[in-house]
Structure 1
Amino acid sequence: MFGDLRRFDTGPSRGVDWFRQLMDEMFPESGAADIRSVPRGSYPMINIGRTDDAVRVYVFAAGLAAEALDVSIQDNVLTVRGERPQARSEIEGGEAAYFRRERGSGEFVRTVALPDGLDADRAEARCRNGVVEIHLPKREELKPRRIDIQAA
């Protein structure tokens, strides 16, 4: 009946292992890369912000030329595709022996849902210093309008 309850009389040698297992069960790994709660392996990183007139998307693709990226919007879904070449590091006489490689390479696809009411036909994109800024204006009928109050 109480088979899955934990015993609290573990010895000191098993205490750390028991505590680690208990914490892993209470807080399973979410797959987040860091405090930003982005799933592991998400590339490129993306920031999305909005104003009264537009939504701006910032795609952080350091080391890639604008021509290496394919950005498209369909049904309020932004898709960023591209390929990161494998980094090569040469040492005199041969290739470097890596002890750790954290930079991923290969093809990638990143999709993000965008809010409704954007005019994708008027979208503009600019790339500077490895950051692609995509400007998506809102449709005119959805922009906030100021209403003048008439004196009675």
Structure 2
Amino acid sequence: MYRSLFARDLLSELERLQRDFSTVFEPSPSIRGLSRGGYPALNVGSSPEAVEVYAFAPGLEPASIKVDLDRGVLSIAGERAPTLPEKSDEKTTLHQGERFAGRFRRVVSLPDDIDPNAVSASYRDGLLHISVKRRSATPARRIEIQ
């Protein structure tokens, strides 16, 4: 049994490394969402007033999630503990383990008109909701040449 747990941990670690390398060499996703399949799953939408980001991350403590906004790039990071039993006997076998465990990081490039001082985040029932307000648009004006 320990051998199968070790193999599963090794494979999940290799998958995580592959995801990390792909995020380094691929351009970061924009608000349009160029990438799929990461953890947590994201829904990103916008309105004239705000950009709304929903991250589906059940089973996390809100204090363990780190949300940063720097120069128009929103990043969500944290770690999800494994749910496999720590001790097992020879009679127990894991046949399939699809629940993500380990460190995660998702990055989304936001539009230029967001207000970095008007960001709110809440976590409830496994859903992280981040709302980033947009700056009010200044009307165009004609400038007189002297």
Aligned partners of 1:92, 1:108: CA distance in 2, in Å?
A: 27
CA contact (8 A) 1:120 1:136 kept: yes
Structure 1 SS opposite 2:100: coil
1:72 maps to a residue whose letter is: D
Q: How many Å apart are 1:88 and its aligned residue?
A: 2.6
Q: How many residues align?
A: 107
Aligned partners of 2:91, 2:48: CA distance in 1, in Å?
A: 52
Structure 2 SS opposite 1:99: coil
**Residue aligning to 2:74:** 78
Over alpha carbons, which structure has the higher Rg?
Answer: 1
Higher relative contact order (CA 8 A, sep 6+): 2
Unaligned runs of 5+ in 2: 1-32, 140-146
**Residue aligning to 2:129:** 133
Deviations along 1:97-151, whole A, 9 cap, x unmatched?
2011111211111111111100011100111111111111100226x9xxxxxxx
Aligned partners of 1:62, 1:126: CA distance in 2, in Å?
A: 13
**Residue aligning to 2:13:** none
How high is the TM-score relative to the length of structure 1?
0.62
1:103 maps to a residue whose letter is: R
Unaligned runs of 5+ in 1: 1-35, 145-152
**Residue aligning to 1:148:** none
CA RMSD of aligned residues (A): 2.7
Q: Does 1:124 align with 2:98?
A: no
Q: Does 1:107 align with 2:100?
A: no
Aligned partners of 1:64, 1:54: CA distance in 2, in Å?
A: 26
Q: How many Å apart are 1:65 and its aligned residue?
A: 1.6
